[in-house]
């Protein structure tokens, strides 16, 4: 998804064709072969972890570089989510490496939590751009004169509040394998996070419906009547 979204919304240099063509294939092949190796109890299982780690690390470095060198220099919360997601993915790889080295289950649990939070961070970053874009695009393409601009569909203040809740959640969630009481705090923060996300989505939909119902629709009839009179 990053191959499409990063380039389109942030006007960055395209990812390499090799990465677009082969990235998924390598991940799928590595995971499939690793599963076979596990069932057959074959040696050198760590080679597949090394391949995946190298590929994902390359993705992190490339994406952070693309975002830093983007042509559209306006900063918004969605970029914060993408940057945080990339850091979480790298942290997940490091925690998994720590587990392989020490066999401490806390590290593996941390790796899984970090990977889940990486996925969530990227999803939240995409939604904060895609939802306003879709609302704006469908209204403007339908000819509504008073179509709201994208930055007003989900205000920056609510997006910033969503990001703050996410950071608060990830700090306690990542600490929960070592301090189990943190898990309850992270759960409460998750509840607030998704509650605010629901508010953002519902208000965006209501704004779309309100504009469809009451907005001024561009029409060529007036211009046609004027032309016929002349």
| 31-89 per-position pLDDT tens digit | 999 999 999 989 998 899 999 999 999 999 999 999 998 887 777 899 999 999 999 99
Count CB atoms within 10 A of the CB of residue 71.
8
Q: Is the pLDDT of residue 110 over 80?
A: yes
pLDDT at 71: 81
pLDDT at 136: 93
Per-residue pLDDT reduced to its tens digit, 158-187:
999 999 999 999 999 999 999 999 999 999
What is the value of pTM for the model shown?
A: 0.87
Using pLDDT thresholds of 50, 70 and 90, give the confidence band for residue 220. low
Using pLDDT thresholds of 50, 70 and 90, give the confidence band for residue 202. very high
Residue written as token pair 């000819």 = 143
pLDDT at 227: 43
8 A C-beta contact, residue 47 and residue 127: no
Residue written as token pair 């609510």 = 158
Per DSSP, the three-state class of 144 is: strand
Name 52's bridge partners. none
Residue partners of 153: CB distance under 8 A and separation at least 6: 131, 132, 135, 136, 204, 207
Q: What gap in Å lies between CA 194 and CA 173, rounded to an integer?
A: 15
Torsion of CA 128, 129, 131, 134, to 10 degrees: 170
Per DSSP, the three-state class of 217 is: strand
């Amino acid at each position: 998804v990053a191959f499409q979204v990063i380039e389109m919304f942030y006007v960055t240099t395209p990812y390499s064709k090799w990465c677009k063509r082969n990235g998924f294939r390598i991940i799928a092949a590595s995971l499939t072969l690793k599963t076979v190796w596990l069932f057959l109890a074959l040696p050198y299982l760590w080679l597949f972890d090394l391949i995946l780690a190298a590929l994902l690390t390359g993705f992190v470095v490339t994406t952070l570089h693309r975002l830093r060198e983007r042509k559209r220099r306006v900063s918004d919360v969605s970029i914060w989510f993408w940057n945080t997601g990339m850091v979480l993915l790298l942290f997940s790889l490091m925690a998994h490496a720590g587990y392989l080295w020490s066999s401490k289950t806390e590290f593996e649990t941390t790796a899984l939590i970090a990977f889940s939070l990486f996925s969530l961070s990227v999803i939240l970053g995409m939604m904060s751009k895609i939802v306003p874009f879709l609302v704006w695009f469908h209204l403007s393409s339908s000819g509504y004169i008073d179509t709201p601009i994208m930055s007003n569909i989900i205000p920056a203040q609510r997006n910033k509040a969503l990001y703050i809740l996410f950071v608060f959640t990830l700090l306690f969630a990542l600490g929960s394998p070592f301090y189990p009481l943190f898990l309850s705090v992270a759960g409460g923060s998750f509840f607030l996070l998704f509650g605010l996300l629901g508010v953002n989505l519902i208000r965006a939909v209501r704004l779309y419906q309100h504009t469809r119902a009451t907005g001024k629709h561009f029409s060529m009839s007036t211009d046609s009547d004027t032309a016929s009179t002349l």
